[in-house]
Structures are given as structure tokens and as C-alpha cells.
């Protein structure tokens, strides 16, 4: 029985300015990176929670942030709208 993350292959290393990610997600990831660099773990976790609420899972690996989008079902069709909750004026503190 394996003990690894079954979603390991779904994560990608975050690169600032990635055109695939909305600006709101970029801003939260940048703020989370700064919080981590400043050793403000509580703030980094708070930002991770905001990202998760918008359908983005973030983790730290080898000094980088890795992200994956969440997929969910709506009716009988698979929906892939991970950024829906983060559209608009999401501004990290």
C-alpha cells in the first residue's frame, strides 16, 4: 500500500506571472510566498485557506510553492472552474 499523495502528478510549481492563473490567484500566491519568507506561518496558512476556498490547493516543496486546481461535478458534467471564487477584486492583505 502506497503512502504518497495520490494527486502528486496534478501539482505544478508556481511561477510568478503564469498566464494560466488569474491575477487574484497570482496576488495571493505572491503574498503567501512573502509571508513564508518572513516566517509568518499563520498568515501563510490564512492565504492558503483563501486559495483553497477558491479551488486552489497550495503546498510547499523544495523551497517552492506548488499548486493544483480542484475539479468538481455539477450535475452530470465535470466542471473545472477553480478560480470562480477568486475572480474580481480579491486583494491579499
- The residues that bridge with 59 in the sheet, in sequence order, are 66
Q: Which residue has the higher pLDDT, 78 or 4?
A: 4
Q: What is the mean pLDDT of the chain?
A: 79
Residues 13-18 have a mean pLDDT of 92
Residue 31 contacts residue 47 (beta carbons within 8 Å): yes
Handedness of CA 23, 25, 27, 33 (dihedral sign): negative
Q: What is the pLDDT of residues 52-87, one digit of tens each?
A: 988 899 999 999 999 998 864 343 333 444 454 454
**Does 13 score more than 70 pLDDT?**
yes
- What pTM was estimated for this model as a whole? 0.73
The pLDDT assigned to 56 comes to 92
Residue 78 contacts residue 70 (beta carbons within 8 Å): no
The pLDDT assigned to 41 comes to 95
Secondary structure (3-state) at 55? coil
Amino acid at each position: 500500500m502506497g503512502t504518497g499523495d495520490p494527486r502528486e502528478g496534478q501539482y505544478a510549481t508556481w511561477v510568478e506571472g503564469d498566464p494560466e492563473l488569474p491575477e487574484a490567484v497570482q496576488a495571493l500566491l505572491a503574498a503567501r510566498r512573502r509571508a513564508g519568507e518572513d516566517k509568518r506561518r499563520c498568515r501563510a496558512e490564512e492565504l492558503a485557506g483563501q486559495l483553497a476556498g477558491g479551488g486552489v490547493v497550495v503546498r510547499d516543496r523544495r523551497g517552492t510553492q506548488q499548486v493544483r486546481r480542484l475539479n468538481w461535478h455539477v450535475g452530470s458534467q465535470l466542471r473545472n472552474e477553480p478560480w470562480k471564487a477568486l475572480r474580481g477584486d480579491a486583494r491579499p492583505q
